[in-house]
Amino acid sequence: MKIAMKRDQFVGIFLIVVGVIYGFMASKIDFPMTAEYPGPKAFPYIGVLGLIVCGLGIFIQSTTSKKSQPVFMMKEGWLDIFKSFTALVLYVIGLNYIGYLISTPILLFFLSKFFAKKIRVGLKEKIIFSILTTVVIYIFYVYGFDMQLPVGLMFQ
């Protein structure tokens, strides 16, 4: 008997594995967590919890669903994964050299352009989304949590 894995089952398992790996990496952050100030460990742990819960949900829903699913991954899908991964690697490099305020809107614009292929979103809306998201995150971290974001070697 041949057992075939549905695409969503794979995605669920992948999210769980990534969550566990990120959890392990977050546990290596050497900073005490307290109730008054959870510190830099809090957000990674929240993300880990989200990844694992979403992965479990996707896996369970796909397992109990009777609907058939399309082919697991075609050439275009692997290309999309490569483009996203490359964008994230370039983003990390950009954080080091040009900082958060320049590299983040560029990444968000690219990702919104890349992932909104089938949705008609204008150039102006993508630019506004990229800048506003960057500013909101900046305000939360810098003013809300009193944490520094990378300014980049170019601006030090």
| Whether the model pTM is above 0.85 | no
Q: Residues 65, 77: one domain?
A: no
Dig out the tokens for 51 from the structure: 């990844």
Are 78 and 136 members of one domain?
A: yes
Domain that holds residue 80: 73-156
Count of C-beta atoms within a 10 Å radius of residue 44: 15
Question: Mind listing the pLDDT tens digit of every residue in the chain (156 residues)?
Answer: 445 567 788 888 889 999 999 888 888 777 777 777 777 777 888 889 999 999 999 889 888 877 776 656 667 777 888 888 888 889 888 888 888 889 999 999 988 888 777 778 788 988 998 999 999 988 988 888 888 888 878 877
Inter-residue contact 15 to 52 (CB < 8 Å): yes
Could you give the number of structural domains in the chain? 2
Give the domain-ending residue among 72, 92, 120: 72
Within 13 A of 94's CA, how many CA atoms are on the CB side? 15
Instruction: Please tell me whether residues 50 and 27 are part of one structural domain.
Output: yes
The type of residue at 120 is: R
The Cα–Cα gap between 26 and 28 comes to: 5
- Token couple for 103: 């590299």
